[in-house]
Amino acid sequence: MMNRRNALARVALLMGGTLTAPTMIAFLDGCKTSNETANAASFAFSPDQLGMVSEIAEIIIPKTDTPGAKDAKVGEFIQLMLKDCYYPKDQKSFMNGLAKLEEKDFMKATPEEQTSLLTTAETNAGTESKRIDGERKKTKDAGQTFEEPGVPFFRLMKELTLLGYFTSEQGAQQALEYVSVPGRYDGCIDLKLGQKAWAM
Amino acid sequence: MNLNIKAQQQATYDAIVVGSGISGGWAAKELTEKGLKVLMLERGRDIKHVTGYETAMKGPWEFEHRGRISTMAREEYWANFRTGYTANEPTRYLFENDKENPYLETRRFDWIRGYHVGGRSLLWGRQSYRWNETDFEANVKEGLGTDWPIRYKDLAPWYEYVEKFAGISGSKEGLDVLPDSHFLPPMEMNCVETKAKGDIESKFAGRKVIIGRVAHLTKPEAFHTELGRAACQFRNMCSRGCPYGAYFSTQSSTLPAAEKTGNLTLLPDSIVTEVIFDDKAGKATGVRVINQNNPGDVKEYYAKVIFLNASAIPSTNILMSSKSDRHPNGLGNESDQLGRNIMDHHLGVGANGTMDGFEDKYYFGRRANGIYVPRYRNWGNDKRDYVRGFGYQGGGGRDSWGRGGDMPGFGAAFKEQISQPGTWTMNLGGFGEMIPNPDNRFTLSPDQKDKWGMPLIVFDAAYGENERKMRMDMMNDAAEMLEAAGARNINMYNDTEKSPGIGIHEMGTARMGTDSKNSVLNKNNQVWGAENIYVTDGAAMTSASCVNPSLTYMALTARAAEHAVNELKKMNL
Q: pLDDT tens across A137-186, in order?
A: 999 889 888 899 999 999 999 999 999 999 999 999 999 999 999 999 99
Task: Spell out which residues of chain A touch residue B490, defining contact as CB-CB under 8 Å.
Answer: 11-14
CB contacts of A12 in chain B (<8 Å) are 488-490
Confirm or reject contact between B419 and chain A (CB < 8 A): yes
Of A16, A168, A176, the CB nearest to B419: A176
- List of chain A residues whose C-beta atoms are within 8 Å of the C-beta of residue B403: 17-19
Which residue is closest to B193 within chain A, CA to CA? A187
Cβ–Cβ contact B359 with A under 8 A: yes
What number of H helices and E strands is found in chain A?
9, 1
Q: Which of B59, B65, B402 sits opposite A172 (nearest CB)?
A: B59
Asked if residue A23 has pLDDT above 60, the reply is no
Q: How far apart are CA A101 and CA B482, in angstroms?
A: 44
ipTM (interface predicted TM): 0.94
pLDDT of residue A140: 85
Tell me the shortest Cα–Cα distance from B407 to chain A, in angstroms: 9
A32-65 residue pLDDT tens? 445 666 666 689 999 999 999 999 999 999 999 9
| CB distance B185 to B197 below 8 Å | no
> A179 contacts in B (CB within 8 Å)?
365
Number of H helices, E strands in chain B: 12, 19
Q: Are strands B349-355 and B487-494 parallel, antiparallel or unpaired?
A: antiparallel
| Best of A39, A168, A191 to mutate (most B CBs within 10 Å, chain B) | A191
pLDDT at A194: 86
C-alpha angle B129-B53-A164 in degrees, rounded to nearest 5: 100
Provide block-wise average pLDDT over 10 residues at a time, chain B (573 residues): 79 98 98 98 98 95 91 90 88 92 97 97 97 98 98 98 98 98 98 98 97 98 97 97 98 98 98 97 97 95 98 98 95 97 98 97 98 98 98 97 93 97 97 98 97 95 98 98 98 96 98 98 98 98 98 98 98 90
Residues 6 or more apart whose Cβ sits within 8 Å of residue A84: A41, B64, B65, B70, B71, B72
Q: Which residues of A touch B425 (CB under 8 A)?
A: 16
State which residue of chain B sits closest to A6, comparing Cα positions: B480
| Cα dihedral B118, B123, B128, B133 in deg (nearest 10) | -80
Contact B411 A195 (CB under 8 A): no
The reported pLDDT for the residue numbered B88 is 86
**For residues B278-299, b (16+ Cβ closer than 10 Å) or e, as one string?**
eeeeebbbbbbbbebeeeeeee
Q: What's the pLDDT at A33? A: 45
Calculate the dihedral angle through the C-alpha atoms of B9, B13, B16, B21, rounding to the nearest 10 degrees.
-110
Distance CA A196, CA A198 (A): 7
A-B CB pairs within 8 A amount to 216
Sign of CA dihedral A114, A117, A120, A121: negative
Q: Which of B204, B410, B424, B490 to mutate to test the interface with A (most CBs of A within 10 A)?
A: B410
Contact in structure between B343 and B508 (CB atoms under 8 Å): yes
Report the distance separating Cα B352 and Cα B424, nearest Å: 11
Q: Please check the confidence at residue A27 and state whether its pLDDT lies above 90.
A: no
Using an 8 Å Cβ cutoff, are B536 and B23 in contact?
yes
Q: Where are the alpha helices (DSSP H) in B13-151?
A: 24-33, 71-76, 133-142
Indicate the SS3 state at residue B361.
strand
Q: Please, which residues have CB within 8 angstroms of residue B3's CB and are 6 or more apart in sequence?
A: none
Q: Are B397 and B377 in contact (CB under 8 A)?
A: no
Question: Closest Cα of chain B to A188: distance in Å?
Answer: 5
Task: Return d(Cα A135, Cα A138) in angstroms, integer.
Answer: 5
Interface of B with A in 102-161 (CB under 8 A): none
CB atoms within 10 A of CB B76: 17
**Alpha-carbon gap, residue A156 to A149, rounded angstroms:** 13
Distance from CA of B250 to the nearest CA of A (A): 23
Within 13 Å, how many C-alpha atoms sit on residue B118's CB side?
A: 27
Cβ–Cβ contact B418 with A under 8 A: yes
Q: Round to whole Å and give the CA distance between B205 and B196.
A: 14
- Closest C-alpha to A163, from B396, B423, B400: B400
Q: Do A182 and B414 touch (CB under 8 A)?
A: no
Q: Is A143 helix (H, G, I), strand (E, B) or coil?
A: coil
Regarding beta strands B294-308 and B12-18, do their DSSP bridges make them parallel or antiparallel, or are they unpaired? Answer: parallel
Element (H, E) at B398: strand B390-398
Global pTM value: 0.94
Choice between B3 and A80, residue whose per-residue pLDDT is larger: A80
Exposed, middle or buried, B302 (CB in 10 Å: 0-12/13-18/19+)? middle
pLDDT score of A18: 33
Window 423-452 of B, Cβ < 8 Å to A = 425
Q: Could you tell me if B211 lies within 8 Å of chain A, comparing CB atoms?
A: no
Alpha helices in B325-420 (DSSP H): 412-418
